[in-house]
């Protein structure tokens, strides 16, 4: 098979870097509002009926939305094996915390209404809250630590050693800032979804909380960007070989302050990403204030796109820097699978991603409309 030679290796590497970003953004946009709604559940729903309304805005779609998480994990495994090995082993405890929290969501949906007891249902409501808050927080903390560098190194035979200690070392000030930004961003997104899918008191409370979350997103994104100017970044000091072998030890890297902003000076068009992060959150804030339905969710999606893109563009070509051995840092040019593997995966992505998008669009079209108390109290609707 020689078709893969039609696309250069370095181009395939960039394509899969872009696709990884698309899948992560897709997860944050599609499953992010599920996490945001779950985080807001105890606060926007004051009684059992209102909370059931909130749950039923995401109950029929959350499983389909998690396809983006599976696709993202699969893409990392197949396209960037060293990244998968380091992140999923080094962040093992953090991953376990995320998975435990995510497991609470389906269990909460299924068991919450099995008993009429108010205590029983309240306990599961808080379990759903944990299932939304913890993944949003921990994922943000992880991104904050990636920007600072992760403690790992490669031996000469490319064995990977993680030099970190416990989960708590991830909870450093900048990591926590990134985590809180993630929570506020997804809370804004979840509030936008609730304004689209609910009415009455739930809608009004979601708007008020959404405005606060949008303001926090703007402020924390600005603070995080300013703080990043004082955090050391990473850059090549050896020749860059975009089509070189996937061996991180073939390069030399230095650590210097302000490096994460060099790409914006070299490629000014990249400023579009942080601009979208700010403008999307501002648009969401104004849409909440104007009592628009749907617009806050669209604007928050733009903000998510901008914020996540800002991280990727700031670090490019680095995808996982090492703060104990900069030479071991993983980059787009030395951490990918083979040329053939990337090509075969690209063919699969071209076939299956449009199918997933088409299926998802169909489901949302069928389930379009607001959820109210009448819907959930109708036995024919099989509501949660």
What does the pLDDT look like over 65-101, one tens digit per residue? Answer: 888 888 888 889 899 999 998 888 878 888 889 999 9
User: Given a cut of 70, is residue 10 above it in pLDDT?
Assistant: yes
To the nearest whole number, what is the mean pLDDT of the chain?
Answer: 91
At 295-352, the pLDDT tens digits run 999 999 999 999 999 999 999 999 999 999 999 999 999 999 999 999 999 999 999 8
CB atoms within 10 A of CB 366: 9
Which residues, in sequence order, are CB contacts of 348 under 8 Å at separation 6+? none
Q: What is the pLDDT of residue 12?
A: 94
C-alpha closest to that of 25 among 80, 73, 72: 72
Q: Is the pLDDT of residue 384 over 80?
A: no
**Structure confidence at residue 205 as a pLDDT band (50, 70, 90):** very high
| Tens-digit pLDDT profile for residues 254-297 | 999 889 999 999 999 999 999 999 999 999 999 999 999 889 99
Q: Please report the pLDDT score of residue 351 as a whole number.
A: 92
Chain position carrying tokens 């990636």: 146
Distance, CA of 269 to CA of 126 (rounded, Å): 43
Please report the pLDDT score of residue 382 as a whole number: 67
Indicate if the pLDDT at residue 1 is higher than 60: no
Spatial CA neighbour of 376 closest among 139, 142, 198, 228: 198
Q: How many residues does the chain have?
A: 384
Query: Which pLDDT belongs to residue 25?
Result: 94
Residue 26 and residue 113: Cα distance in Å, rounded? 31
């Amino acid at each position: 098979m020689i078709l893969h030679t039609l696309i250069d290796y370095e181009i395939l590497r960039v394509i899969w870097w872009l696709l990884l970003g698309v899948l992560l953004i897709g997860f944050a946009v599609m499953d992010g509002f599920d996490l945001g709604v779950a985080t807001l559940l105890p606060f926007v729903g004051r009684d059992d009926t209102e909370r059931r309304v909130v749950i039923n805005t995401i109950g029929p779609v959350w499983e389909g939305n998690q396809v983006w998480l599976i696709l993202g994990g699969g893409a990392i495994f197949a396209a960037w094996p060293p990244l998968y090995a380091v992140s999923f082993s080094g962040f093992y405890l953090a991953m376990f915390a995320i998975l435990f929290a995510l497991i609470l969501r389906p269990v909460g949906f299924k068991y919450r209404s099995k008993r009429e007891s108010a205590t029983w249902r309240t306990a599961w409501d808080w379990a759903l809250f944990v299932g939304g808050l913890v993944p949003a927080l921990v994922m943000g903390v992880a991104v904050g630590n990636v920007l600072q560098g992760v403690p790992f190194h490669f031996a000469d035979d490319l064995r990977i050693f993680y030099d970190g200690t416990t989960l708590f070392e991830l909870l450093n000030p900048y990591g926590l800032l990134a985590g809180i930004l993630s929570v506020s961003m997804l809370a804004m997104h979840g509030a936008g979804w609730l304004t689209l899918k609910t009415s009455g008191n739930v809608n009004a409370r979601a708007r008020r909380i959404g405005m606060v979350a949008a303001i926090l997103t703007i402020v924390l994104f600005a603070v995080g960007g300013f703080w990043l100017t004082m955090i050391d970044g990473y850059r090549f000091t050896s020749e860059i070989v975009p089509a070189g072998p996937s061996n991180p030890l073939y390069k030399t890297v230095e650590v210097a302050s302000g490096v994460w902003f060099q790409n914006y000076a070299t490629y000014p068009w990249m400023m579009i990403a942080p601009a979208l992060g700010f403008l999307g959150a501002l648009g969401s804030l104004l849409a909440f204030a104007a009592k628009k339905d749907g617009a806050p969710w669209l604007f928050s999606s733009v903000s998510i796109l901008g914020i996540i893109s800002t991280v990727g563009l700031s670090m490019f070509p680095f995808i996982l820097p090492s703060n104990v051995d900069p030479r071991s840092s993983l980059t787009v040019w030395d951490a990918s699978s083979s040329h053939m593997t990337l090509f075969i995966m690209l063919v699969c992505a071209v076939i299956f991603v449009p199918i997933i998008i088409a299926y998802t669009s169909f489901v949302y079209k069928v389930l379009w409309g607001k959820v109210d108390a009448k819907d959930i109290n109708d036995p024919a609707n099989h509501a949660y």
